A and B are shown apart, each in its own frame.
Chain A
Amino acid sequence: MGARRTRRTRPLAGEPDNGVSRHQELELAVHQAVASVDDPEYPGVSIVDLGLLEAIEIDESGAVAIGLVPTFSGCPALAVIAADVSQAVDAVEGVRTTSVTWLTSPAWTVERISHDARQQLASEFTVAVEIGRRAPSCPRCGAPTVEQSLFGPSRCRSVHRCSSCHETVEVMRS
């Protein structure tokens, strides 16, 4: 999972300082709401598992600020994702307002994609993830793939071919 940074505020008046505070509960609920949002191009794959969530900040009044990082800055899905996140977080009990910001740093990298999401991309979408300079392995047979073109249908993906079963594979890269 991508690094999640949250700013802790002091416990609300009258709540216990030990154990799970109301603030922590709310923070957890907001996190779950953000995690319920899927990537618009990969239905079933959460944006949190793809490493887009960077920060959740909640103040005493219940104003929530969500910081997200885009896979690349010109991504056409930014407005749709932000609207989906805003809607999901607004529905959480105890949230008064929600603001969603696309951060310009840190830069998103493929290392932010969770292990589960990697498995899901491979088994459900035949999409591999490129880590470092090693040739990504074919989601179908596990053999190394060879790059055919630097770009595919999106700027965050290149097109490869499997060296063994010849499958056409899309590869997510940073």
Chain B
Amino acid sequence: MVRSWSSMEEFEAFLDDGGIVEAEDDMPDEYRTAVFRFIELHANSEQMGGLTERDWIPRTPGLRHKMSVIAKTQDEFGHAHLLYMVAADMGIKTRTEMLEDLFAGKSRFHNVFHYRVKTWAQQVAVAFLVDAAALASQQAVFKNCSYGPYRRILKRIISEEGFHMRLGEDRMMRIAQGTEMQREMFQDAMNDWWWPALQLFGPDSKPDDKLLRWHIKSERNEDLRHKWVQKFVPMLQSYGFSIPDPGLHYDDETKQWMCGPIDWEPLKKTFANVGPDSERRINEASSHWETSAWVRDALDEHARSQASLTTA
């Protein structure tokens, strides 16, 4: 059954009422485009995240951590796979178009994948800080998400990301209880990754943010960021690490941790794909796509020969 709405007002009333939009519905074009862009950004980020994770498979210390890095790599690519399927169903770009745009540097992906992960301690910091930030954003989307196919995929992604966070916490605890040198490496990693992780939530939401109005997001970016700060500042301090924010202070009246001023320039650069490691990342992803072309060709050929066998 294809549902349609005669006006945007009627559609918004449906959404405000807790209505869930399905792929076959005749949704307003603006909504379709906004939701598609949001899912494409998520898919691209999982894809680029998978490549980062993959880089660490040979360099990960110990079999136990290595197993978890291998599995996490598969998780991220699997998530990208599911999300690209859901995004392609919206009929704006095909899966191949999305991937080609990503590898040509024409699409966006999350800011944290525009930086280079230089040491194992940094990889731990990313797993610990960034995964938690990504999970908090995804949970806020899942809570009230009006687009059914995305909501159902998110439910599974969130359970898996929750598991990644547990692995990240486990790695952080090990390094925090490690040698002085390991602790120093982790502090250095915090200094490099605190701000990018915090900026993953994005700049303050605009008052008329459509994603909020259409129940894709359920919380404002600044509120999510603030909650994340409340959790991670005391946790890191309890392990004896410091936060690289000279303006950070505890407000006695509100009993809340308050950040110093945030420099948004680095985030803007990542939006334009000119972050510190954007070029290398995109080129590397693109060269994987080219060198694996023969696999796709072989699969297509196999599908064609199977089809000709059944018709013969």
A-to-B contact residues, CB < 8 Å: 40-43, 74-77, 79-80, 124-127, 140, 148-149, 151-155, 157, 159, 161, 165-168, 170
Contact = CB atoms under 8 A, between A and B. Distances in A.
A49 to B, nearest CB: 16
Given A148-B85, A166-B89, A74 B70 contact: yes
Contact of B149 (A152, A155, A167): A167
B167 interface: yes
Interface centre among B78, B160, B167 (most CB of A within 10 A): B78
Given A79-B64, A148-B85, A154-B75, A124 B163 contact: no
A170 B70 contact: no
Given A152-B81, A153-B79, A168-B82, A74 B155 contact: no
Given A41-B163, A126-B156, A167-B149, A76 B68 contact: yes
A153 B154 CA distance: 13
Interface string B76-101: 01110110011001000000000000
Contact of B162 (A43, A74, A159): A43
B68 A124 contact: no
Given A42-B159, A124-B155, A168-B149, A80 B81 contact: no
B78 A125 contact: no
Contacts of A154: 71, 74-75, 78
Interface string B135-156: 0000000000000010011011
A40 B166 CA distance: 9
Nearest to B82: A168
B124 to A, nearest CB: 16
7 contacts: A41-B160, A42-B159, A140-B152, A153-B74, A154-B75, A159-B81, A168-B153
Given A74-B67, A76-B71, A153-B74, A159 B156 contact: no
